[in-house]
Each structure stands twice: as C-alpha cells, then as structure tokens.
C-alpha cells in the first residue's frame, strides 16, 4: 500500500511537471492523425467524413475517454493481479 501511494505521488508530480513544462512552450499540440493524415487527405480532396456515431459533442467525448480508461484500467488491473499476485499471496500459495 505504501509503495502504491509513493508510486502515485511520483506519477502525479511527474505529470504536473510535464504539464507545466509543455504549457509554457505555447504550442497547440494537434494529434498526428489531424496534423498529418487529415492534412494530406484534405489536400487530395478526400476530407474526413462525419462519423456514423458522432460522440464529439460537448463533454460527451471526454466522458467516453474516461469511461474507456476506467474500464481498460479495471480489466488490465484485474488480470494483472491474477498473473502477478503480490509476493505474500504467492508465498502462501506455494506453501
């Protein structure tokens, strides 16, 4: 538990430092799909079309990103514990 808290604090500090550093550069940070793929497609007169299911409305996309992150994190964490159990659980199983 202590290790998890320490790791969380290190990750949070790194993320905050990264955010401060990157925001000071004054760049717009477009995704490469937009900056390269869609740019070349527009130049060739094949711009992207509207999606069949358009989630990019207000905060809806943010909601889906968070939901996907939470679901993916849960699934990953669940199987991770099954494959890499804590040392205490492994040693009791071995005994």
The CA radius of gyration of the chain, in Å to the nearest whole number, is 21
Does 66 engage in binding with another protein (CB under 8 A)? no
Nearer to another protein, 16 or 56 (CB): 56
Give the C-alpha separation, 75 to 80, whole Å: 8
Residue of 16, 68, 45, 85 whose CA lies nearest to 94: 85
SS3 call for 42 = helix
Q: Among 8, 30, 89, 91, which residue interacts with another protein (rule: CB under 8 A)?
A: 30
Build a one-symbol-per-residue string for 38-57: x at contacts with another protein by CB under 8 A, - elsewhere.
xxxx-xx-xxxxxxxx-xx-
Enter the DSSP assignment of 90: H
Which residues here bind another protein, judged by CB under 8 A?
18, 22, 25, 27-33, 35-41, 43-44, 46-53, 55-56, 61, 64-65, 67-69, 72-73, 75-76, 78-80, 82-84
């Amino acid at each position: 538990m202590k290790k998890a808290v320490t790791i969380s604090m290190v990750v949070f500090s790194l993320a905050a430092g990264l955010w401060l550093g990157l925001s000071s550069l004054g760049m717009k940070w477009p995704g490469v799909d937009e900056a390269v793929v869609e740019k070349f497609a527009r130049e060739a007169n094949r711009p992207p079309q509207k999606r069949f299911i358009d989630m990019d409305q207000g905060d809806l996309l943010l909601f889906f990103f968070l939901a996907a992150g939470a679901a993916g994190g849960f699934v990953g964490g669940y199987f991770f514990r099954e494959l890499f159990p804590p040392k205490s659980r492994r040693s009791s199983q071995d005994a």
